[in-house]
Chain A
Amino acid sequence: MLTAKPELNNRGVVLCVEQRGRGQHVLACNRRAERLGVHPGMPLSEAISSSKAGRHTLHVEPHDLHDDRLALGELAVRCEQYSPLVGIEDSQAPESLLLDVTGVPHLFRGEDNLVHKIVEDFLLWNYRVRVAVADTLGAAWAAAHFLVTGETPVVLASGHTKALLNLPLGGLRLASVTVDLLNQLGISQIGQLAAFPRSGLKARFGPDVLKRLDQLNGRCDEIVVAHRPLPEFKQRWSSEHATTDNGVIERIVFHLLQRLTSVLQDRQQGIVKLECRFECEQEKSMLLEVDLYDATVDTKHLFELVRLQWERRQFAAPVHEIVLVAQGRAPLSWRQCELFADGTRENPRQLARLVDRFSSRLGRDSVVRPRLRPDAVPERSYVDVPLAGSQKKNSRHHKIRMAPFERPLCLLVEPAPIEVIAGLPDGPPAVFFYRNHRHDVAHHRGPERIETAWWRGPSIRRDYYRVETTAGQRFWLFRRLQDFHWFLHGEFD
């Protein structure tokens, strides 16, 4: 693990200054400043006066978090030569780079060679660096900050975390408030803290203390979040001569798709979401998005889906650039073909293609599979899950606990107000009028009261009746309990 401290200029004397409540303080300084007696943490005025005593003028630079982060990002990119996964530590003012070197050291003939190469390279780039390698991110961080002296890197052997127990609490990456509090209580070393019972620690100092301890010991996983996202799968065509010829554009899109799918196929990946951008001259670009039910690299199929959307639009101006990006990718699943193709019905690929075509032409939200929810209010008793492009296909579904014909098959989008004549005040309906027809109620079941809880916004309070008319037709009516108006909500069609 390594810590980098970017410096703006190696030759001049540079100071970074941090604003604090009690005036300006030195945050960092270079070696020449150190030789003048300046050290991090001292007040700025004191640093300036000490430099004047040595007949030197200090160059003072305000500390800029944003620039710091940018410089660290650049270093992270440079460090990709040592590890496939380089991240920046997750904090407000990050100053450490995290490298996952699992399976890497043998490429550099051992961990020692690797860390020495890193230190040498950083010196070439005019940076001082503190490097430590350990089993966990937490241990490496602590070692880099408190075990490394000068520029000699530290490599902690596997399972060798005892050396860390004597380190100060700062090695735990805790909030300074917590560290101060622990110091007041006489706890100054990691080992002291680790000796306490866990339950008490959590109750007194919050869950963060335990988390950091576990991350140090490796009892709890910590992942390196890559600084740069994975490479984009993108194909681009551009030309000085813009075109509106559909035939030409079709051929270009097909060609780009072929290149895109062949790149993905090499990585055993398929497209789940495809983005197609047509840049037009002096006009807004046109964007087509294709969501798929299943990952695919079938160029013809993808091309058909793009064309389904494209058919309905027209280019406002000549197209001079086309960009295809595989926004969503998933591993390809290989299915063995059946030699005696008997069950074409259960062919998931056929259905996937149908769903893709639907989603492409009708829109993703128009091709759905319902998921039931445990809610008595009919409008909220299910949600539509789009079939294309949804990551969680097996989301939680509540089993149906309803008898057949308990609810109508045809539920009106908006309950229709109806006029009802009831035999008794507040009683069940006897006659109602719906779509200019008079319906005499022969039988009814109910009332079934459905209410929403008060914490769910505008409350719904209804008394539902399942009614059968003298003609045998069945309807679902309700009386709104707030104002006793009647509505027809569904037909048992």
Chain B
Amino acid sequence: MKTAKQTTQDDIITALREQARRIEGAKRPEGGTVVSTGCDDLDRLFPENGIRRGSLIEWHGKGQGSGAGSLALITARQACADGGALVVIDREGTFFPPSALSLGIDRERLVVVRPANARDELWAIDQSLRCEAVSAVWGYVERLAARSFRRLQLSAEAGSGVGLFVRPLAMLGQPSWSDVRLLVEPLPAGGRSPQFRVEIVRCHIGRAGSSAAFEVDEAGPEKAGAIVRKVSHETRALHLDSQLAHSAGAYRKTGTE
């Protein structure tokens, strides 16, 4: 009894959390591979210093045009570095492939699926997550019942792919089976490269509430794998590959046919 009193509250919480994790994810491998998002500072926000394979991540964008989808897609690109395919679930038909390819997505490993209804959408996500040849599943997912969510989580564990769901802010209050829920808030960038503040709203292991601001480097660094550019005391650049580097002025076209 005496020792129990001595244990701090934090230790109890950590122990309980570990227990809960084991109960929830019995099949979950202890040390599953962790993928980097491509930016060390963003990785550090995640409880396991990156995205663990076989997990689901929710990206809640604050308002329209927040950039949550792009950040999730850049992360998906990183997850596909192992040679697996990227499945894009596009029920609304709004996914614009040229923009995705400009973010460095490999066309040869891209599969765009356009289900007609919510039932087919859920089935398609489930099948993709279960497939071992798929490294990441990306999609705008609005409503998701708790039971279906759990099913998707088990599928992700079985197929060890990463599910990246871009969801509206209103869904933040709904129950979730994802490992990490992120809130992406756009920051006024003054006409320069887009900037975001990313906040961990909830995560299975570790502490929620940590946040950091990032900038996606539009032009791309000079060399592949260069150190990320630090913009301000709290803004860090999430760079794209050098293959994407194009001069900003060269691409303006006017009605060419």
Contacts and interface: CB of A to CB of B under 8 A. Distances in A.
B94 A470 contact: no
Contact of A452 (B124, B190, B255): B255
B107 A370 contact: yes
Interface stretch (B10-18, B23-31, B132-140): B132-140
B112 A369 contact: yes
Contacts of A403: 102, 218-219, 244, 246, 248, 251
Given A346-B133, A473-B64, A404 B103 contact: yes
A382 B99 CA distance: 11
A367 B194 contact: no
A382 B97 contact: yes
B54 interface: no
A469 B196 CA distance: 13
A442 interface: yes
B120 A362 contact: yes
A369 B111 contact: yes
Contacts of B98: 370, 372, 378, 381-382, 400, 402, 407
Interface in B59-101: 61, 63-70, 73, 82-85, 87, 92-101
Contact of A445 (B190, B191, B251): B191
A464 to B, nearest CB: 10
Interface stretch (B150-158, B181-189, B204-212): B181-189
Interface residues of B, number: 74
Interface residues of A, number: 71
A165 interface: no
Interface in A405-432: 405-413
Contacts of A413: 92-94
B85 A351 contact: yes
A405 B216 contact: yes
A367 B95 contact: no
Interface in B160-192: 166, 185-191
Contact of A409 (B87, B100, B133, B244): B100
B188 A442 contact: yes
A375 interface: yes
A404 B68 CA distance: 15
A402 B103 CA distance: 9
Given A354-B127, A397-B107, A453 B134 contact: no
A491 interface: yes
A362 B191 contact: no
B254 A345 contact: no
A351 B124 CA distance: 13
B73 A409 contact: yes
A376 interface: yes
B70 A492 contact: yes
B128 interface: yes
A411 B113 contact: no
A435 interface: yes
A437 B64 CA distance: 10
**Residue among A350, A366, A370, A471 facing the most chain B CB atoms (10 A cut-off):** A370
B77 to A, nearest CB: 11
A182 to B, nearest CB: 44
Nearest to B219: A403
A46 interface: no
Interface string A427-452: 00000001101000011110011111
Contacts of A400: 98, 101-102
A38 interface: no
A355 interface: yes
Given A400-B101, A406-B251, A473-B186, A493 B124 contact: no
Contact of A350 (B70, B131, B191, B220): B131
A362 B113 contact: yes
Given A405-B194, A445-B191, A366 B116 contact: yes
A400 B134 CA distance: 23
B96 A409 contact: yes
Contact of B255 (A347, A382, A449): A449
A177 B96 CA distance: 56
A376 B255 contact: yes
Interface string B236-257: 0000100010101001111111
Given A361-B123, A449-B254, A453-B257, A410 B94 contact: yes
B115 interface: yes
B148 interface: no
A403 B193 CA distance: 11
B229 interface: no
A9 to B, nearest CB: 63
Nearest to B104: A404
Nearest to A466: B191
B102 A407 contact: yes
A348 interface: yes
A393 to B, nearest CB: 10
Contact of B64 (A448, A456, A475): A475
Given A403-B246, A405-B102, 18 more contacts: A346-B83, A354-B128, A361-B120, A370-B107, A374-B256, A376-B253, A376-B255, A402-B98, A404-B102, A405-B70, A409-B103, A411-B95, A413-B93, A444-B191, A448-B252, A448-B254, A474-B67, A493-B67
Interface of B: 61, 63-70, 73, 82-85, 87, 92-104, 107, 110-116, 120, 123-124, 127-128, 131-135, 140, 166, 185-191, 193-196, 216, 218-220, 240, 244, 246, 248, 251-257
26 contacts: A343-B82, A343-B83, A358-B127, A362-B120, A362-B124, A374-B256, A376-B255, A387-B111, A397-B107, A400-B101, A401-B251, A404-B240, A405-B102, A406-B99, A407-B99, A407-B102, A408-B99, A409-B96, A434-B64, A442-B190, A468-B191, A471-B188, A472-B196, A473-B64, A492-B65, A493-B67
Interface of A: 343-348, 350-351, 353-355, 357-358, 361-362, 366-370, 372, 374-376, 378, 381-382, 384, 387, 397, 400-413, 434-435, 437, 442-445, 448-453, 456, 461, 468-475, 490-493
